[in-house]
Amino acid sequence: MAATRQLWRLCPRLPLVFSQGYASAAAAETVKAPIKVFGIEGRYAHALFSAAAKQKSLDKVEKELNDFQFALSKDSKLEDFMRNPTLNKTRKDAALRGVLKEKKYSDLTVNLFGALAENNRLTKTQSVIKAYQTIMSAHRGEVPCTVTTAKPLAEKHTKELEKSLQNFTTKGQVLKLDVKVDPSIIGGMVVDFGDKFIDMSTQTKIKKIVQTLKVGMS
């Protein structure tokens, strides 16, 4: 219960609810996340991560959030309920708690939605879930890498690409490769790997050639 109370303390309710000293004491008790996520969604996600870490429920909370995210994508009525600004926040809180407890969600997840409802932040639900997923990905040592090609890669080439990119990770890191197709790049590929962005697309090469020709003709 102490960890769930901490979640409520750390989530941004009304700015002046707690004194500065109390807020500092609560912050000192937090479990530091492996990556910093900014914005309102980041504040909720970091508070949830800290509380879940103390209860050794990081994976359980992530599974529950993923489950709720899937429900949102499939249930338009639920999505409308979350976004409807005319509904009383207290009723929203009560309704959500009832549904989540019926699904046997943990108190941490239930209280997260309670905090979002109380602060009229339910429209931020998807962003908060994504922020928590980002933190958990870093917690597992995953390194996201997105490769975009003009045409689908053969399975053999995808494996070769993944093996090559794995060489750029450090010990303990796990490459999380996502291969996308975008015909507009014409050919080549675009690699977005951690803090690196490499554009080797034919589209960009053509743009550079055109710009060079314009400069030469001016």
Task: Summarize pLDDT for 71-82 with one digit per residue, the tens.
Answer: 999 888 888 888
Task: Summarize pLDDT for 10-19 with one digit per residue, the tens.
Answer: 454 422 222 2
Q: What is the DSSP track for 122-148? A: GGGHHHHHHHHHHHHHHHTTEEEEEEE
Number of structural domains (the chain) is 2
Do 126 and 151 belong together in one domain?
no
Do 180 and 124 belong together in one domain?
no
Do 119 and 158 belong together in one domain?
no
Do 26 and 99 belong together in one domain?
yes
Work out the burial of residue 212: count CB atoms within 10 Å of its CB; fewer than 13 is exposed, 13-18 middle, 19 or more buried. Answer: exposed
pLDDT, residue 21, reads: 32
Task: Summarize pLDDT for 128-178 with one digit per residue, the tens.
Answer: 999 999 999 999 998 888 999 999 999 999 999 888 888 888 888 888 899
Half-sphere exposure (Cβ direction) of 97: Cα atoms closer than 13 Å: 15
Do 88 and 162 belong together in one domain?
no
Do 149 and 118 belong together in one domain?
no
Which residues span the domain enclosing 184? Answer: 142-217
Do 115 and 150 belong together in one domain?
no
pLDDT, residue 23, reads: 37
Closest CA to 35 of 121, 167, 144, 125: 144
Task: Summarize pLDDT for 24-42 with one digit per residue, the tens.
Answer: 334 446 788 888 999 999 9
Do 121 and 177 belong together in one domain?
no
Q: What is the CATH number of the domain that holds 189?
A: 3.40.30
Q: Considering the entire predicted model, what is its pTM?
A: 0.68
Last residue of a domain, one of 80, 112, 138: 138
b/e burial code for range 152-182 (CB count within 10 A of at least 16 → b): eeeeeeeeebeeebeeebeeeeebebebeee
Do 22 and 34 belong together in one domain?
yes
Last residue of a domain, one of 79, 105, 138: 138
Do 61 and 151 belong together in one domain?
no
pLDDT, residue 87, reads: 85
pLDDT, residue 218, reads: 63
Last residue of a domain, one of 138, 159, 186: 138
Q: What is the CATH number of the domain that holds 40?
A: 1.10.520.20
